Every structure is written in structure tokens, then in C-alpha cells.
Structure 1
């Protein structure tokens, strides 16, 4: 696959990158202003047995992320002819994003049951897929592109639901979800830009701008949490971009790009779901049994736990670059590379939890 530098495209002149950096900075500033306002008016998140914080802290800081993203996407729709998708699909994706943000904000206010949240997520995913966003093929190393046919929309729905919930589940320590999202977006923007994926490039930058404005208020010591409105929105958009990266642009990227970027998050959630299922526990019930939560309960500083998961995202980005440029025979080896650091992390957490005698993981 030969990269097509975005600055070589007629719509991305030599000065495009500085302008996009300025746009990212402007959206970050706008997001920060909204987040600062939400600190004053945000919904209080009260401590309980399943939460890591010990004092009342406002949540719904994700409103800043959503507001900045929607401002940027409005500008993209108005002026970004090169980067936007065809109107029906573009409008459908944005409508779905607004829907997931609105319902998630209401969830922050009223704490909906899990099935209600899942139903809203399903509806938002259905809007996006119904508008035409659907995976058409799955690129497997050595086997090449495997057409998905009628299974494409169904698998796309499952993927969107899984990533949306994964980012929601992982948002339990200061800076963890926001930092992971920011790193994944920056890698995704760079990779998509170099391969002519202008919609993914621009949209990932818009999301990065919103998250960059929020993160200083959430790390190293949280003055506000992003809440479901932030975590579900970020997960939803990353899932959508993962599908969009496979087509709708000049050069199709592998569907494995976003899963590799989010490998730390997705492996933690998968590990936890499998462990709880085997143990006969209710996977829909709130708990503190994710690896990152167990590490914190065992005495590890929350700031270092977040940095480790940021490291997973950075490592995932490096793996993606290696995967896209690796010889065909080496691709199967490269895609499994994230399993090694995650296995080392899981073993460390298990050992640390045993020494700390924290009891059942939940």
C-alpha cells in the first residue's frame, strides 16, 4: 500500500497542516471553556462502593467534547468538500452521534438502567448503519479481503455497540479514557491522512480537539469527569471511524486499524467479560473488576494506571504502522503483538492483587 500524502491532494495545500493544527487548538480551547462551565453546573457524581473517587465530583464534562466536535463537524459540512462524506451518509452519522450524546447526557442526569442505555446505543448504531455506514469486507492476513455481504450491517452494529460500551466501562480512573481516546485519534488522523482518508483524518482531528480541551481538567487530578456523555460519545465515534476507514475514501485501510489502536481497552474489557461469565457473574451489573480497577484497588497510583493504558494506545499505533507496511507473511505476527504487553500487565495485576489481598475482584 503506497501512502498518498494528504498535502499532495488539491484540497490539502502546503499550509493545510498548520491550519488544521490551529483548528484543533481552537476546538480544544472551546471545549475547555465548556468544560470549565460544566464544573460549575455539572451533575454531581457521588462516591460509592464501585467508584474510585472519594469526594463528590461533577461529571458530564464530556459535554465540552461533544460541543467542540459538533462545532467542528458543522464547519466540515459547510466548507470541507474534500473531507466530508456523501450527504445522506454524512447526515446519518452526525445524527447518530447527536443521538448517542443526548441520551448519554440524560443517563448522567437520571442514571438509566443498563438495558435502556443499550437500547439507545442500538438505536444510534442503527441510524448510522441505516444511513449506509457498514463494513463491506474484512482484511485477513494471508487470506486477503473477505467479503462480508449481508453480514456486514449486523457485524457493524455489534462492533459499534461493543466499542461504545468498552469506552464507557474503561472510564473509571482520571485521564484513562480521555488520554487513550486522544492518542488513538492522533494516530488515526496521521495514518488516514497519509493514505488519503480525508474524512477519517479530519473527523479524528475534530474529536482529538474536543478531548484535548477536556483532558487538563481530568488529569492528573480530576476536577470533573467526562460522564457517559463523553465516554459513550468517544467510543461511538471511534467505532464509526473504524468502519469509515475501510472505504469511503481514496485508499481503503484495514478494519484492524482501530482495534489495534484500542487494543488495551478492548483486551481489558474482553478479559473482564470472559472472566465474569466463567465465574457466573452478571456482566450487566456495575462492578470494579476490570484490570485497571483491580490494579488501583491493589494500591497502584491511578495516574500510573492511566499512563500504562496510554502506553497501550501508543504501542497500538506503532503496531498499526508496522502492520500496514509489513510484508504479507509478517502481518499475522504483527497483529498479535499487543497481546504480549497486555499479558504481562494482566499477570502483574493478578500478582499484585494477590499480595494486596483485596478479596473478590467483583
Structure 2
């Protein structure tokens, strides 16, 4: 049962859409301004064997995303009585997000060991889940809702950690992580708004505004990289919004919504981790063996690779809409639909890698 006061009413998002679009545009402009400052500051990202770029580039452009999002959240907390949650949950989520952003920015500057980053992620995830953002049930096609009980908080923390790191892993080519986040946020905002979940609707729109201001500086040719401060923050917020969508909605959404939207990212990371585990590789060691990296190394234009992953997110959005409206008997088929385009992509990358004799994927 939802124990947090719920303020959303159907139809409010539609009535306020012009103001929300103005807020989106304003946050995009603010984000772009901050990104320009970060280009001038020039936090260096030096090339090495596991990176795609061959010259020193500025990074930490994600500061623009974080700054715009936090500005939007302050406005939401002050004026957005319809969209915000009760103070303990709201403040807990924002505190956790701020912690992720701060530690990730320091990581961009100091290059912390993985254990330090993981520790900070764990603390942030526990803070968010402890504030009330936690899965209490899992809806399975044909079976229905399965109560998670005491396992809910543990699984929720694991989910947040997985998505946070998945977005960090996928941020290796111009525009890939940012574009995927933008498409995901726009679909999530639209779907949540139509179902009366105005915290998720508004928060996804705030994140989308920040990313929209950053993306022109990162694609089609990057002038700055997102850095861990951007990729981890985006992953963390998307994971949290996926959990919030199962609680704070006029019509609660399935937990599967965000996994379907991020299907391309999550399948790439899962495929890569499984392949490396079977090969006896160190899963914590940096590498260039993700499918998107192999495709680039095999000669596929990085702009095309980015657009492919944006397409996965858009396809996932269509699948979510179909899943939410499908008859119960069809839901199992719909939910597995993203496997087909990913399998086609994986097959293409494998053939391309063999054609150019790429050898060990790493």
C-alpha cells in the first residue's frame, strides 16, 4: 500500500503542458550554459587503450545536466505541490541523487578505484530506498502481482546499482548515453503523465531538459564528454523513477516500464557481463568489449551506433505502450519484443567483427 500522500490528479499535466514545455526549454538553455562553462574549464579526459577517442577531450559535461535538474527540483519543491511527494521521500531521493553527483564529479577529477565508486552508489541507493522509494511487488504477465516482502528493499537497491553502472558502462561513444536518456525520459514522462503519476512525469521532464541542453555539445561530434557525473546521475535517476512509477501513480505502472525503455542498454551490459564471465574475465576491470564498442571498433560510424541505441529506447517506449494496453494473454509476447531487435543487432556486430578479423573483443 502507498503510505505516502499522493497529490496527483488526472488531467493536470495536460492543462499545464505549455508551462512544462517552457520549463523544459529553460532548463535546456541553463544546462547548455553550464556545459559551455565546463568546456572552458576543460577537465581533461585523456585517451587510453579502452577509450574511443584519440586526443585529450574535456569531460564532466554532465555537470550541466545535474545543475539543470537540481534547479528544476528546487522549483518543483517550492511551487510544484501537485507533482512533488511527501517531504521525507522527496528529500531522501534528492539527497541521494546529490550524493551520486558529488562523488561522480570527484571521480572525474581524481579517478577513484571502483570500490570507492561502488560504495558511494550503495550509500545513495540505500538512502533513496530507505526514504520510501522501494519495490513492494513485481507484476508478471499471466501470473499477476507478486509481493516482494522483505526482499523488496534489497532488490530495489540492486536494481539501482545495476542501472547506475549500466549507464556508466554505456557512455563510451558520442551521444549514445545522452540520447538514450533523453528518449527514455520523454517516453517515461508521457506515459506517467497519462496515468496520473505527476512526480514521475515532472521529474523525467526535468532530467530530459538537462540532457537536451547537453546533447548538442556531445553529438554528432563531441566537444565535451558527459563524464561519470552525468552518466551515473542519469542512470541513478532513471532507476529511481522506475521504482517510483510503481507507487506514486493514479494508475500504478508495472515495474517493467523502465527496463523496457532501457532494454538496449541493459541487454548490451547483460550480454557483455555474461560473455566475460564465461570467458573467466575480471568483471570489474575496464574494457572495450561491449557490443556498441565492438561495432565501433569494427568500423561502424559512432553516430550510427548512437542512433541505433536511441532506436532501442524508442522501440522500448512503443513496447511499453503496447504492454500497458495489451490483453493479459498477449503481455508475455509483448514484453519480450525488445529481444528481437537486440538479437539482430548482436548478430550484425558479430558478423562485422568477424569480417574485419577483430579477434579478441576484450
TM norm structure 1: 0.97
| Alignment match, 1:51 | 51
**Structure-2 change in CA distance of 1:312 and 1:303 (3 Å):** same
Residues 215, 167 of structure 1: CA spacing in aligned structure 2 closer, same or farther, 3 A cutoff?
A: same
Consecutive unaligned residues in structure 1, runs of 5 or more? 1-5
Please show how residues 332-351 of structure 1 align to structure 2 within 5 Å: 332-351=332-351
2:31 counterpart of 1:31: yes
Measured after TM superposition, the shift of residue 250 of structure 1 is: 1.6
What is the match of residue 230 of structure 1?
230
Deviation at 1:249, TM superposition (A): 2.5
Counterpart of 1:174?
174
8 A contact 2:83–2:199 mirrored in 1: yes
**Equivalences for residues 6-45 of structure 1 within 5 A:** 8-9=10-11, 11-12=12-13, 14=15, 16-45=16-45
CA contact (8 A) 2:220 2:303 kept: yes
Deviations 1:144-171 (A, max 9, x none): 1111000000000000000000000000
- Tell me, yes or no, if the aligned pair for 1:197 and 1:250 is still in contact at 8 Å: yes
Stretch moving more, 184-193 or 36-45: 36-45
By how many angstroms is 1:357 displaced?
A: 1.0
Say which SS state the counterpart of residue 272 (structure 2) adopts.
Answer: helix
Give every structure 1 segment of 4 or more consecutive aligned residues whose post-TM-superposition deviation is greater than 4 Å.
none
Quickly say closer, same or farther: Cα 1:281–1:12, change in 2 above 3 A. Answer: closer
- Structure 1 residues 12 and 187: alpha-carbon distance in aligned structure 2, compared to 1, 3 A threshold: closer
Distance across 2 between alignment mates of 1:276 and 1:13: 47
Q: CA deviation at 1:63?
A: 0.1
Q: 2:207, 2:267 → 1: CA distance?
A: 23
Does the CA contact (< 8 Å) of 1:7 and 1:13 recur in 2?
no
Alignment partner, residue 92 of structure 1 = 92
1:251 Cα deviation from its structure 2 partner: 1.4
Aligned to 2:79: 79
Match of 1:107 in 2: 107
Which deviations, in whole Å up to 9, do the C-alpha atoms of 1:311-347 show, x marking residues without a partner? Answer: 0000000000000000000000000000000001001
Q: How many angstroms apart in 2 are the aligned matches of 1:283 and 1:302?
A: 25
Equivalent-residue separation in structure 1 for 2:74 and 2:320 (angstroms): 30
Which position in structure 2 is the counterpart of 1:3? none
User: Do structure 1's residue 149 and structure 2's residue 133 form an aligned pair?
Assistant: no
SS of aligned partner of 1:359: coil
Q: What is the match of residue 326 of structure 2?
A: 326
Deviation digits for residues 71-106 of structure 1 (CA, Å, limit 9, x no counterpart): 000000011111001100100000000000000000
Question: Following the alignment from structure 1 to structure 2, what is the Cα–Cα distance between the partners of residues 12 and 220?
Answer: 32
SS at match of 1:142: coil
Structure 1 residue 7: Cα displacement: 8.7
In 1, Cα distance between equivalents of 2:340 and 2:10: 38
Seen in structure 2, the aligned counterparts of structure 1 residues 234 and 13 have a Cα distance that, compared at 3 Å, is: closer
Q: Does structure 1 conserve the Cα–Cα contact (< 8 Å) formed by 2:261 and 2:320?
A: yes
The Cα of 1:12 is off from its aligned counterpart by: 4.3
**Change over 3 Å in CA distance of 1:144–1:30 after alignment to 2:** same
Partner of 2:165: 165
Q: Distance in 2 between matches of 1:26 and 1:7?
A: 25
Match in the other structure for 2:192: 192
- Distance in 1 (CA, whole Å) between partners of 2:107 and 2:309 is 26
Offset, 1:360? 0.6
What is the rounded CA distance, in whole Å, between the counterparts of 1:131 and 1:21 in structure 2? 29
5+ long unaligned stretches in structure 2? 1-7
**1:35–1:63 contact (8 Å) kept in structure 2:** yes
Contact 2:323–2:335 (8 Å) recurs in 1: yes
The CA distance in 2 between the partners of 1:251 and 1:326, in whole Å, is 16
- Determine the structure 2 residue equivalent to 1:70: 70
- Counterpart residue number, 1:270: 270
Corresponding pairs, count: 355
Once residues 74 and 166 of structure 1 are traced to their aligned partners in structure 2, the CA distance between those partners, rounded to angstroms, is 28
- When the two structures are superposed, what TM-score results if normalisation uses the length of structure 2? 0.97
Q: Distance in 2 between matches of 1:52 and 1:130?
A: 38
